[in-house]
Amino acid sequence: MMTLSGRTLRLTILVDDTDTWHHRPMYTEIVHRAHVAGLAGASVFRGVEGFGATQIVHTTRLLSMTDDLPVSITIIDTEQRIRAFLPQLDDLHIEGLAVLDEVEVVHHHRGGQAT
């Protein structure tokens, strides 16, 4: 059972909700790989509006533009474990953006224990 505290890395991957890998959502594949790798956790957040390299704004407010909405996958773990995980994403050919930033975990509750 792992608890995190102190300085960690956050990997954030931004993709479109229509991106797929072998007929399943790209975000599902990324979360699955993070889980198999034993990382501390991963979450997927759906965006309601956004634009990327194409400069086309996609939004839920216009029925004709409800495809290609942004999805953010956030994974937090130790720097060593996140950096070791990155090569497992290479074959996905992610067309979105992936960023790393250092964060400080101030609370992590798991299995009845808080740190």
Identify the pLDDT of residue 103: 94
Question: What's the pTM?
Answer: 0.82
Domains belonging to the chain, first-starting first, are 10-97 (3.30.70.120)
Q: How far is residue 112's CA from residue 109's CA, in Å, rounded to a whole number? A: 7
Tokens representing residue 93 in the block: 């050919």
Identify the pLDDT of residue 4: 76
Identify the pLDDT of residue 52: 73
Tokens representing residue 75 in the block: 């994974």
Tokens representing residue 30 in the block: 């990324």
Identify the pLDDT of residue 109: 66
Q: How far is residue 82's CA from residue 1's CA, in Å, rounded to a whole number? A: 17
Residue ranges for the chain with pLDDT beneath 50? 114-115
